[in-house]
Amino acid sequence: MRSILITVGRSLLAFYFLAPGIAKFVAWDMHVALMETHNIVMAPVLLAIAGTAQIGGSILLLFNKQVVICALGFALMVIIIDLNLHDFWNMYEGVDAQHESQNFFKNLGILAGLLLLAAVDMEKTDNK
């Protein structure tokens, strides 16, 4: 049962990053505009890096490869995104602070799941 729960949890986290990774390229201009609204410099470059990392890391997680690196990399990405794009404490024209607050706290839950996934995979490796 433990193995099934870990596999399902890892797969759901992978899909959580895969869909937005693809969306970054499909709706490129919208994502660049969002980043620029939040005063992110080099938005196109950072967007390409984020999208590629999300797609690549998701595929690795789905195939149960490099789990610790992907989970911790996604955890770092979540922190960076939360502080820079879901910064509900700042006011931006056309940005709903309540929605950003909801995203910020939702991402803390995702962060917790990623940290747990990394810890479980480290434990699995330590017990071999």
The tens digit of pLDDT for each residue in 31-55 reads: 999 899 988 999 999 999 999 999 9
For residue 128, the model assigns a pLDDT of 62
Q: Is residue 14 within 8 Å of 61, Cβ to Cβ?
A: yes
In this predicted model, what pLDDT tens digit does every residue of 62-96 receive, in sequence order? 999 999 999 999 999 999 999 988 888 887 788 88
Instruction: Say which residues have a Cβ less than 8 Å from residue 68's Cβ, sequence separation at least 6.
Output: 118, 121, 122, 125
Judge whether 57 and 30 are in contact, CB under 8 Å: no
Closest to 35 (Cα-Cα) out of 50, 14, 56: 50
